[in-house]
Amino acid sequence: MRNNLTVGSIFGVPIGINYSWFLTLGLITLFLGLQIFPLMLPNEAPAVQWGLSLATAFAFFASVLVHEMAHALVARAFKVPVSGITLFVLGGVAQIEREARSAAAEFTITVVGPLMSFLLAALFFVIWVATGSSDSTGSIVWEWLWLINLAVGVINLAPASPFDGGRLLRSALWGLTGNFQTASRIAGWFGQGLGYALVIIGLASLAQFPGWPIDAGPLLELWLILIGLFIENSARNSYQQVMINDLLASRTAADVMAREYELIESDVSVEQVMEQVFAEDAQSFAFVTENSHVVGLLSRAAARAVADDERPQTTVESIMTPARDVRVVNSDDHLYDVLVSMDEATVSAMPVIEGGKLAGVVSSDQIDRLVNGRS
């Protein structure tokens, strides 16, 4: 996710906070400070009520972090890479870099999240009971923590993306059908159906059709509509991403690479390159040579990044990626792996080796054209 603030790591898993998280933190704090603790702790000073509200909100997100950490650690146990955990406006997400290799692995990686939330709910419930289940300050905080964690566990079992229940449904269908794509398609339809159902319920409640039994209030009804739209969009995007990944895993670098490429001298100015090489959008990279030897790779993006007034005196050599830093891929590497390599190296193009020799170049633009033509 973009706009993240890295705050540290736990067990080697980077932890980030998206700026949208502060919105949810504030809303939870306001809800508890205005609606809950003043009613439950009327004799406490406002400063105490607000302090408890903020502390409870932080404790809730700590619980969400533990939930996501369970996903991350079990994923790593199954050799599925995890790039980090991000807390954001809707809670948290473990950034798992690829799909599990089996239905059993996906089920196990997914189910530990809700199980951890239920475990935390049970722990806080025991503490709440041990404190006497009274109206004391501490007891009320424990009560809210076990209720919130129970709610997180239950809500995450909703059978729709992005909730854990959506992946649990997909893993179950995957196990039954033996086909990951079929399972993804059915789970996607189910998630979209749930999203549409919430939108219809919200709209019908707002309109108050004769005989309609639900009247949750306009705020909650609008929230239902927004959540429904979010679930429908997420379910559709999740299925599309699975299809894209499947396409990329079935094609290789040789299928899209450019076998003809430009060679430019290292002492040529960026202005000349932009006019003679990168004037056409189809050309997005070029090899840099010096005394007939390839010494680097230049992307159109790097050349464009140079200010117009600096291009005449800026040489290609000063902005190219040196050959020693250029990562290469093999012609039979799957495009999914090629994109992962590009992301790791933060480049948009990579040379392709075939039979030990340079055969061409594959770029993210070429892969995008393939995806846009087939997705």
Whole-model pTM over 0.75: no
The pLDDT value recorded for residue 286 is: 83
Structural domain range at position 359: 253-374
The pLDDT value recorded for residue 133 is: 65
Per residue in 29-50, pLDDT (tens digit) is 998 888 888 888 888 889 988 9
Q: Which of 211, 228, 250 is the last residue before a domain boundary?
A: 250
Instruction: Answer yes or no: do 113 and 217 share one domain.
Output: no
The pLDDT value recorded for residue 114 is: 95
What total number of domains does the chain contain? 3
Q: What is 199-238 written as a DSSP string?
A: HHHHHHHHHT-TT------HHHHHHHHHHHHHHHHHHHHH
Spans in the chain with pLDDT lower than 70: 1-3, 133-135, 210-211, 216-217, 219, 280-283, 374-375
Instruction: Answer yes or no: do 116 and 238 share one domain.
Output: no
3-state secondary structure 63-80: HHHHHHHHHHHHHHHCCC
Distance of alpha carbon 275 from alpha carbon 31, whole angstroms? 59
The pLDDT value recorded for residue 375 is: 46
Q: Which of 250, 270, 288 is the last residue before a domain boundary?
A: 250
Instruction: Answer yes or no: do 148 and 178 share one domain.
Output: no
Instruction: Answer yes or no: do 169 and 269 share one domain.
Output: no
Burial of 263 (0-12, 13-18, 19+ CB in 10 A): exposed
Which CATH number is 313's domain given? 3.10.580.10
Instruction: Answer yes or no: do 131 and 237 share one domain.
Output: no
**Whole-number Cα distances in Å, 106 to 119, 135, 180:** 20, 42, 11
Instruction: Answer yes or no: do 258 and 246 share one domain.
Output: no
Instruction: Answer yes or no: do 17 and 61 share one domain.
Output: yes
Question: Considering only CA atoms, which of 302, 300, 298, 294 is closest in space to residue 358?
Answer: 294
Instruction: Answer yes or no: do 77 and 27 share one domain.
Output: yes
Q: Which of 225, 250, 275 is the last residue before a domain boundary?
A: 250
- State the first-to-last Cα distance of the chain, in angstroms, to the nearest integer: 23
Per residue in 340-360, pLDDT (tens digit) is 788 777 777 788 888 777 788
